[in-house]
Structure 1
């Protein structure tokens, strides 16, 4: 095509020079017009072919980026425009020539959503799709947002039954005494207001302010000594929970052979109502004044102790899956209270040391499209026994205070708009110490 255009251009130039030197002939004028028309037609065809070549090159680059999973929504959703609609018509005037770029070819503007150069295609590969960014935001491993305000609402359901035997075995087979069934049903609604501030591209500071509302129903069988009688009492409590300050530091960015690794540190303040020193209501006593059934007058909203935590999170993207996991340790500091005994008839000041806990979890998320992702994960927290010490007495462990709480979590993220994302989470308890289920919704809004 280029060779043919050059030949015709040379012939047209020779004909023009000959026409200027010699007297025009009728045949020469007709030949000149024909050559000029052929030249204009070839120029237009040549410009069209150049545009087609550039469009095909851009489409190949965009397709490579899309297959790598690094193209934003506009790139994936943009249809491939036909050459006839993308290319601007070329004037058929013999003097009209297409504008040339740096390489001497036609400079065509790329279609919307496609990379026009290899550099732009490589930049598109490095961009994080929205669904992947939402998953990383939920796992606290996203660092490209300046400020995020998050509103969250979580509901926990807890139900635990316990059989109490008060007596002894006769002849190793006959139980003599009273049998009571205790049941505790607890519903907790937690509203959490959080702020995430991206200080640098590698450091994010967080503040979580919870408001807790709890309702607990206590049931005790064998009331009044009758096996079929059941006593029941309900208590509630609401107020500010324990505020947490934390930070996330990007230690190692993600590479093809290494996950992104983030260091997490945090401290929890005892701003909520501690569970110690709450007055108790006695509902039933024995004839010898022994308390058979008593409940607290209100429910606590916090742990009552300072806690510090440190952990590591890792995220690895493997289109279309996103693998993530975390591991960490929480240390509880000793705290002193005016009354650490749950006996309504006594007041015993002392110290409490909650058990330290070790937590870990892992999961996988799938990016269905640019706006939606689905995740499955397993989280587990192992807590040691708590210890108490009355004033002037040695430390003693609280039997039954250790716990193994495991949850299987199902989550969905959906991008509402350019700034807001809705995150839904369903947790199913796998161990007796875990809640029966948890249901949560969060809406982070990036500014």
Structure 2
């Protein structure tokens, strides 16, 4: 059996260095500078080995590109008929033996480094801490499901066992579909700008038991709404680069404009009234697509590589500014102008990502958002806190990232709500294209 050994100029140079060192060691007498010369030759040899491993990797990539182009030209997966089969490329296992297997280990280390770097870039892109890309545009589509039931008792207990009065069961089921276009500009190696433009489509089903005073009667109504959401603009600044035990730390400052349809002043449709004209069941005619107020946020993000894992965390605060509206009353028969001030929100989260190979990685994270009570003030009145407007939305997130090519990545996320204020689940798909 005839075995061919492929060599390159780098490999020949490495062999020449080894042979020259051996010849000098056998013929030349020992001098005090021999040890320094040997160290210098070893350093040159190590450098040539690393370059050789990199050259082998490039040759493999070129061979794969040639095979792909041949298959595209013929419309088949097989090589062109009559053409000579492409010569197999040298593998790291076929590298010239060095006695310690260093060439093979160097190639594997180089591949692992490339895979780790791509995985880190994908994690940083999702946490808005990536500065090595000049421009990134991301298209994402997410679906959220929210289901909340509430039991309302209007009466009293007789003999501590019998309830006398009306029993009403309320159920709200909401489905939201959001398409978001995000653009990221890397202005400098430490500064980047982000622009997010969402478009929402919502459907909410309201169910109310106890209609007409009967617990068996159930009324149901469905409302929808779609339109652009609240547009946000933010900037990221790298405070510290990753060094030793310290993670890479990024400061984020941003603002959100109330470009979506506000939930205040929306016309309501009355479905049921009591004999005294008291509204028992009313629903909004269309669903809002935004918060209706200006918001500003500031936060910190940290990313730390701990091979083979990538650790990340964030912490921030969202402040909502006061805004006036022509009508705050949900009653369609009255108009009461006033002011709205949403409560501040603190958000935080942490997670870990693992790279399976040079294309695929898995991430697990936890995120939470704590919101204080909102306040309203009718014209000429005092501020009044809205009972039940505070929230604690905690979510467990599972994500899989797959690199489609050098510039494009497919990100799939599943969020599982852990508290009643969070959506039951959220499913999202993102496709960032990085230049």
User: TM-score, length-normalised on structure 2?
Assistant: 0.78
Q: Work out whether residues 136 and 433 of structure 2, in 8 Å CA contact, stay in contact via their aligned partners in 1.
A: yes
The reply on whether 1:438 has 2:417 as its aligned counterpart is no
Q: Tell which structure's C-alpha radius of gyration is larger.
A: 1
Q: Work out whether residues 135 and 373 of structure 1, in 8 Å CA contact, stay in contact via their aligned partners in 2.
A: no
**What does residue range 98-117 of structure 1 map to in structure 2 within 5 Å?**
none
The reply on whether 1:225 has 2:213 as its aligned counterpart is yes
Q: Provide the residue aligned with 1:148 in structure 2.
A: 136
Separation in 2, partners of 1:246, 1:440: 22
Q: Cα offset for 1:327?
A: 0.4
TM-superposition CA deviations, 1:180-222 (whole Å, max 9, x none): 1000000000100010000000001000000000000000011
Separation in 1, partners of 2:52, 2:342: 56
Separation in 2, partners of 1:269, 1:278: 19
Separation in 2, partners of 1:368, 1:306: 42
The reply on whether 1:80 has 2:80 as its aligned counterpart is no
Q: Cα offset for 1:168?
A: 2.2
The reply on whether 1:319 has 2:307 as its aligned counterpart is yes
Q: Provide the residue aligned with 1:381 in structure 2.
A: 369
TM-superposition CA deviations, 1:295-331 (whole Å, max 9, x none): 0000000000000000000010001000110000000
Q: Cα offset for 1:57?
A: 3.5
Q: Provide the residue aligned with 2:117 in structure 1.
A: 129
Instruction: Identify if the C-alpha distance between structure 1 residues 317 and 78 changes in structure 2 by more than 3 Å, giving closer, same or farther.
Output: farther
Separation in 1, partners of 2:128, 2:104: 33
Q: Provide the residue aligned with 2:193 in structure 1.
A: 205
Separation in 1, partners of 2:416, 2:133: 31
Q: Provide the residue aligned with 2:175 in structure 1.
A: 187
Q: Provide the residue aligned with 1:412 in structure 2.
A: 400
Q: Work out whether residues 115 and 355 of structure 2, in 8 Å CA contact, stay in contact via their aligned partners in 1.
A: no
The reply on whether 1:167 has 2:155 as its aligned counterpart is yes
Q: Work out whether residues 197 and 205 of structure 1, in 8 Å CA contact, stay in contact via their aligned partners in 2.
A: yes
SS of alignment partner, residue 129 of structure 1: helix
Separation in 1, partners of 2:52, 2:362: 25
Q: Provide the residue aligned with 1:356 in structure 2.
A: 344
TM-superposition CA deviations, 1:204-263 (whole Å, max 9, x none): 100000000000000001112221111100000000000000011000000122100000
Aligned residues: 366
Separation in 2, partners of 1:127, 1:435: 34
Q: Work out whether residues 95 and 104 of structure 2, in 8 Å CA contact, stay in contact via their aligned partners in 1.
A: no
Q: Work out whether residues 114 and 358 of structure 2, in 8 Å CA contact, stay in contact via their aligned partners in 1.
A: no
Separation in 2, partners of 1:330, 1:181: 34
Q: Work out whether residues 203 and 222 of structure 2, in 8 Å CA contact, stay in contact via their aligned partners in 1.
A: yes
Cα RMSD for the two superposed structures: 3.3
SS of alignment partner, residue 132 of structure 1: helix
Separation in 2, partners of 1:360, 1:271: 26
Q: Work out whether residues 189 and 213 of structure 1, in 8 Å CA contact, stay in contact via their aligned partners in 2.
A: yes
Q: Cα offset for 1:287?
A: 1.3
Mean Cα displacement is larger for which, 385-394 or 227-236?
A: 227-236
Q: Provide the residue aligned with 2:34 in structure 1.
A: none
Q: Cα offset for 1:173?
A: 3.2
Q: Work out whether residues 58 and 114 of structure 1, in 8 Å CA contact, stay in contact via their aligned partners in 2.
A: no
Could you tell me which runs of 5 or more consecutive residues in structure 2 were left unpaired when the two chains were aligned.
Answer: 1-18, 28-41, 62-88, 98-102
Q: Work out whether residues 147 and 197 of structure 1, in 8 Å CA contact, stay in contact via their aligned partners in 2.
A: yes
The reply on whether 1:269 has 2:257 as its aligned counterpart is yes
User: TM-score, length-normalised on structure 1?
Assistant: 0.76
Could you tell me which runs of 5 or more consecutive residues in structure 1 were left unpaired when the two chains were aligned.
Answer: 10-52, 66-70, 86-110, 116-120
The reply on whether 1:57 has 2:61 as its aligned counterpart is no
Instruction: Identify if the C-alpha distance between structure 1 residues 127 and 434 changes in structure 2 by more than 3 Å, giving closer, same or farther.
Output: closer
Separation in 1, partners of 2:304, 2:53: 21
Separation in 1, partners of 2:341, 2:361: 41
Separation in 2, partners of 1:141, 1:78: 38
Q: Cα offset for 1:62?
A: 8.0
Separation in 2, partners of 1:159, 1:414: 31
Q: Work out whether residues 78 and 112 of structure 1, in 8 Å CA contact, stay in contact via their aligned partners in 2.
A: no
TM-superposition CA deviations, 1:147-194 (whole Å, max 9, x none): 001001111100000001112233343221100100000000010001
Separation in 1, partners of 2:236, 2:90: 36
Of 373, 378, 385, the residue aligned with 1:390 is 378
SS of alignment partner, residue 266 of structure 1: strand
